[in-house]
């Protein structure tokens, strides 16, 4: 990266990151890795699935982050009776007052926003899930034969509860693949929990300031695409993803523990995530360590463990750890 404008933009991004964590720290205690990965996904135009038990501030993290961005924000609470038109919008008969002529008019749904919080996405039927996931992939909505382009930038941040499976509709692997990252939120440590209790049980002013506009976000997204990457780093990412796929050339433990490996979309997400990770840390080029930092959020929902792995209680994260270390 030698262009002076890009170097200036890189410095501006570093300042934005610092302000982002300062402001969001007024509301969110800890969870630095989760926040950092969400920021990376935003820079990569990627969507994020956040998984965690109730009460770990999944929804609060997304709402707090949306408040810092000068963009439109909508929350969609997914329920069993939610219909696709409740998300995308619907056509209604509209009558002109002057002529009395009737015509169909499209009323946009909550999907027409910059940031979408899809709360508890696994609580709604597949038909409704598909309506959202189509919009995520195509960045447009089609209804009654007409297509409507979604606003840019466009991000979907979905939440999911892993412990309540009754009355839920798990996302199929093909739909999970549309999410760039799968982030796991764990319980806070003792010090963070003490701070959380103090902050939430006292009268404190936690008003946040807007720190980034639509125009700036689009500029940062374009900057990510211009970040140079050496061939050996690209080859490492391609080989790493390929190593998750069982077959004749695969390692023995891969054939034993993995049913299905990750596809090319995983490699694309690894590369983009590594680029964003590099520039967020002030580096104008990408190295192999940047790729390694992206392995777990990118691959954990794309690698399917075998029956043997489940029987031996071996998680996908443990399999990925072994792949990286070899």
Closest-CA residue to 319 (of 231, 245, 235, 236): 245
Closest-CA residue to 108 (of 78, 74, 79, 77): 74
Q: pTM for this one?
A: 0.88
Residues 110 and 245 in one domain: no
Residues 9 and 123 in one domain: yes
The answer to whether the CB of 260 falls within 8 A of the CB of 173 is yes
**Count of the separate structural domains present in the chain:** 2
Sequential DSSP letters for 37-92: HHHHHHHTT--EEEE--TTS-HHHHHHHHHHHEES-EEEEE--TT--HHHHHEEEE
- Of 204, 226, 248, the last residue of a domain is 226
Mean pLDDT check: name the lowest of 50-59, 219-228, 246-255, 315-324: 50-59
CA dihedral 126, 319, 257, 166 (to 10 degrees): -30
- Of 171, 193, 226, the last residue of a domain is 226
- Residue 218 scores a pLDDT above 70: yes
pLDDT at 59 (0 to 100):
80
Q: Measured between alpha carbons, how far is 170 from 80 in angstroms, rounded to an integer?
A: 12
In angstroms, the first-to-last Cα distance of the chain is 32
pLDDT (tens digit, 9 = 90+) per residue, 171-194? 888 788 889 999 988 888 888 888
Residues 13 and 102 in one domain: yes
Looking at per-residue confidence, does 94 or 161 come out higher?
A: 161
Strands 73-77 and 115-119 turn out to be: parallel
> Mean pLDDT across the chain, nearest whole number?
86
**Structural domain of residue 250, as residue ranges?**
228-326
Domain of 255: which CATH number?
1.10.8.80
Residues 166 and 257 in one domain: no
- Of 226, 261, 286, the last residue of a domain is 226
pLDDT at 206 (0 to 100):
66
The answer to whether the CB of 185 falls within 8 A of the CB of 34 is yes
Closest-CA residue to 48 (of 221, 181, 172): 181
Residues 187 and 52 in one domain: yes
Kindly indicate the confidence band of residue 279, based on its pLDDT and cuts at 50, 70 and 90. very high
Contacts of 290 (CB under 8 A, 6+ apart): 233, 274, 275, 277, 278, 283
- Average of pLDDT values for 64-72? 83
- Average of pLDDT values for 120-142? 85
Sequential DSSP letters for 133-163: HHHHHHSEEEETTEEEEPPSS-EEEEEE-SS
The answer to whether the CB of 236 falls within 8 A of the CB of 288 is yes
Residues 23 and 73 in one domain: yes
Residues 205 and 77 in one domain: yes
Closest-CA residue to 42 (of 118, 115, 101): 115
pLDDT (tens digit, 9 = 90+) per residue, 137-175? 888 888 777 888 888 889 999 988 877 666 688 888 878
């Amino acid at each position: 990266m030698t262009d002076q404008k890009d170097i200036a933009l890189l410095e501006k991004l570093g300042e934005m990151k610092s302000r982002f964590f300062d402001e969001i720290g007024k509301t969110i205690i800890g969870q630095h890795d989760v926040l950092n990965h969400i920021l990376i996904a935003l820079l990569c135009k990627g969507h994020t699935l956040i998984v965690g038990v109730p009460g770990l501030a999944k929804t609060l993290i997304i709402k707090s982050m949306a408040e810092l961005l000068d963009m439109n924000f909508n929350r969609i609470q997914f329920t069993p009776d939610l219909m696709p038109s409740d998300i995308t919008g619907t056509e209604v008969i509209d009558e002109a007052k002057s002529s009395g002529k009737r015509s169909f008019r499209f009323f946009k749904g909550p999907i027409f926003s910059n940031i979408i919080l899809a709360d508890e996405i696994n609580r709604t039927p597949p038909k409704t899930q598909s309506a959202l996931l189509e919009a995520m992939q195509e960045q447009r909505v089609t209804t009654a034969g007409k297509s409507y382009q979604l606003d840019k930038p466009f991000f979907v941040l979905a939440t999911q509860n892993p412990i309540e499976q009754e009355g839920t509709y798990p996302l199929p692997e093909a739909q999970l693949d549309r999410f760039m990252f799968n982030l796991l939120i764990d319980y806070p440590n003792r010090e963070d929990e003490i701070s959380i209790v103090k902050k939430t049980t006292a009268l404190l002013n936690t008003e946040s300031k807007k720190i980034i506009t639509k125009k700036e976000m689009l500029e940062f997204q374009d900057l990510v695409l211009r970040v140079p990457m050496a061939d050996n780093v690209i080859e490492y990412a391609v080989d790493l993803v390929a190593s998750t796929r069982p077959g004749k050339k695969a390692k023995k433990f891969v054939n034993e523990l993995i049913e299905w490996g990750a596809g090319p979309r995983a490699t694309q997400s690894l590369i983009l995530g590594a680029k964003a990770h590099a520039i967020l840390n002030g580096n104008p080029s990408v190295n192999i360590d940047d790729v390694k930092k992206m392995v777990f959020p990118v691959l954990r929902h794309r690698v399917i463990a075998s029956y043997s792995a489940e029987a031996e209680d071996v998680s996908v994260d443990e399999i990925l750890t072994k792949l990286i270390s070899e």
